[in-house]
């Protein structure tokens, strides 16, 4: 990836940090964006990239990161729209509108704004790859954090549609859909998963799957990442079409 420029959101920790390290290791120039300025600044120095504070819920901040990348490096070849949070509330007595808005803002608006911000440069180049981190929770419907399940399903639908629209124009759009991975986002779920002996992915497993998407020629695909099997696009069943009478 020498000469290639990559933008990673949610890059300061967890999966984004692993991806930033891997891309830099392959020779890419990496622009890191996150609300965690301290960790992001340290990591940018480690990978020889640049860090910009960015709340992906704010379109202007996302556009500023893209403008920085184009100004400094002249192009964006790869955008990993990865920032994400768990919700911290349900829809019953525990509903909290601020928590809901934050989760939808980071997990869905963050991807929408990221795509909107990078598209003009990629269309002008006639090439580019966008990978949004969704989740297995965007493919199946686990009985926890329904708001997270909803916004990850939204990212999956968004990517499938965008992939069909922009793939023919040379811009591939795909989703990375990990099962539980060993990062801070697990929070209070971690002891529950441990009690059930539920296998948890290493960040390196997710990074390997991410690189598989980058190296593929797919567009509009949602790549599952689960322990013990290679990552590949999830094959959605076709919905029934109209029946002629």
Ligand X SMILES: NC(=O)c1ccc[n+]([C@@H]2O[C@H](COP(=O)([O-])OP(=O)(O)OC[C@H]3O[C@@H](n4cnc5c(N)ncnc54)[C@H](O)[C@@H]3O)[C@@H](O)[C@H]2O)c1
Which segment (8-16, 43-51, 120-128, 165-173) binds ligand X by CB under 6 A?
A: 8-16
Closest CA to 128 of 172, 159, 164, 160: 172
Per-residue binding string, ligand X, 149-188, x by CB under 6 A, is -----------------------------x-xx-xxxx--
Task: Go through 21-31 and write b for each residue having 16 or more CB atoms within 10 A of its CB, e for each that does not.
Answer: bbbbeeebbbb
Q: Active site residue: 51, 113, 148, 166, which one?
A: 148
Smaller CB distance to ligand X: residue 171 or 209?
A: 209
Per-residue binding string, ligand X, 69-88, x by CB under 6 A, is -------------xxxx---
Is there binding between residue 125 and ligand X (CB under 6 A)? Answer: no
**C-alpha angle 84/46/69, rounded to 5°?**
60
| Residues in region 88-107 near ligand X by CB under 6 A | 106
Give residue 196's Cα distance to chain centre: 27
Smaller CB distance to ligand X: residue 4 or 57?
A: 57
Hey, what are 87's tokens? 């919700």
Report the alpha-carbon distance of residue 95 to residue 220 in Å, rounded: 33
Q: Where are the alpha helices (DSSP H) in the chain?
A: 14-25, 37-47, 59-73, 97-104, 110-125, 146-166, 189-195, 203-215
| Residues in region 10-69 near ligand X by CB under 6 A | 10, 12-16, 34-36, 54-57
Confirm whether 148 is a catalytic residue. yes
Per-residue binding string, ligand X, 182-211, x by CB under 6 A, is -xxxx-------------------------
Report the alpha-carbon distance of residue 112 to residue 120 in Å, rounded: 14
Catalytic residues: 148
Binding site for ligand X (CB under 6 A): 9-10, 12-16, 34-36, 54-57, 82-85, 106, 133, 135, 178, 180-181, 183-186
């Amino acid at each position: 990836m020498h000469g290639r420029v990559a933008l990673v959101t949610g890059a300061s920790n967890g999966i984004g940090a692993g991806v930033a390290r891997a891309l830099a290791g392959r020779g890419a120039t990496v622009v890191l964006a996150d609300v965690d300025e301290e960790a992001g600044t340290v990591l940018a120095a480690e990978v020889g990239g640049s860090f910009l504070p960015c709340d992906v819920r704010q379109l202007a901040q996302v556009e500023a990161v893209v403008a920085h990348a184009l100004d400094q490096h002249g192009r964006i070849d790869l955008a990993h729209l990865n920032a994400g949070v768990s919700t911290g509330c349900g829809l019953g007595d525990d509903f909290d509108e601020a928590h809901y808005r934050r989760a939808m803002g980071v997990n869905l608006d963050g991807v929408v704004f990221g795509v909107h911000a990078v598209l003009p440069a990629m269309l002008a180049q006639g090439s580019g790859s966008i990978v949004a981190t969704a989740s297995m929770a965007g493919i199946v419907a686990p009985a926890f954090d329904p708001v997270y399940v909803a916004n990850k399903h939204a990212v999956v639908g968004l990517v499938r549609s965008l992939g069909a629209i922009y793939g023919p124009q040379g811009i591939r759009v795909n989703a990375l859909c990990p099962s539980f991975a060993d990062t801070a986002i697990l929070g209070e779920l971690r002891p529950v998963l441990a009690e059930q002996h539920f296998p948890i992915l290493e960040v390196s497993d997710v990074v390997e799957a991410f690189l598989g998407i980058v190296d593929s020629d797919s567009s509009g695909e949602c790549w599952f990442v689960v322990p013990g099997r290679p990552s590949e696009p999830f094959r959605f069943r076709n919905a029934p079409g109209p029946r002629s009478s």
